[in-house]
Amino acid sequence: MRKKAILSITLAFILVFGAAVTAQAVVMGGTQITFERAMEIARNAVGGGSVMEVEWELKNGNPIYELEIYHNGRKHKIKLCAVTGELTKHTSREANRTVTGITIQVTSATATRFAEAAIARAGGGYVKAIEFELKNGVLICEVEVINVGTKHEFKFNVSTGEMIQHKSRAPRSGNSGSGTINHLR
């Protein structure tokens, strides 16, 4: 009886936590570094500052993070390997605006939630990119999904969860144009 109880608890743990890990792995293409850790690594590389944009993207099949950080009057662009956390690129220039005390708060759970919503609305497919950015004081999540060759771009208000825009582009066939369809809310 005791063995059955332990086995049941173990299976429940695997089902609950294994499903969460699997969802993130499916949605974010084998990414090992979370959004939280990517922001921490980037801020450490810059010496602090305000994270204003963070994007996860598949580039040539490799998952990467791109972050924009403002610190001490400079705008830093950071690229990290999303598997190892290795800093692959860091550029810096004088900032054209002052940003202090503002840092976007993004978690991998939030990213996964919006990615899964976008995949469902696209009718399946895979996530090519997820970006979080402050626009006019509102945190926006942009998700790009590819489904059977059709590119879907979604924008969500992170605070409300509302989808505010959906664009889709069918595969080109001959000279028929881009096939872009806008779905605005």
d(CA 180, CA 85): 36
**What pLDDT, in 10s, does the model give residues 76-133?**
999 999 999 999 999 999 988 777 667 788 889 999 999 999 999 999 999 999 999 9
Last residue of one domain, picked from the residues 52, 75, 105: 105
Question: Which residues, 6+ apart, have CB-to-CB distance to 83 below 8 Å?
Answer: 30, 31, 32, 33, 62, 63
Q: Do residues 182 and 112 both lie within one domain?
A: yes
The answer to pTM > 0.85 is no
CA-CA-CA-CA torsion sign (18, 20, 22, 25): negative
* Element of type H or E holding 106: none
Q: Are residues 33 and 78 in the same domain?
A: yes
Which phi-psi region, left, alpha or beta, contains residue 26 (left: φ > 0; alpha: ψ -120 to 50)? alpha
Same domain, 116 and 166: yes
Which of 105, 140, 172 is a domain's end point?
Answer: 105
Same domain, 66 and 111: no
| Predicted confidence (pLDDT) per residue in 26-53, tens digit | 456 667 899 999 999 999 999 999 899 9
**43 and 98 fall within a common domain:** yes
pLDDT score recorded for residue 38: 95
CATH of the domain at 160: 3.10.450
Q: Give the C-alpha separation, 28 to 181, whole Å.
A: 26
Domain that holds residue 99: 29-105
Total structural domains within the chain: 2
Judgement on whether residues 82 and 121 belong to the same structural domain of the protein: no
CATH number at residue 100: 3.10.450.40
Residue 24 has pLDDT above 90, yes or no: no
- Between CA 75 and CA 49 the distance in angstroms is 9
Question: Side chain identity at 15, as an amino acid letter?
Answer: L
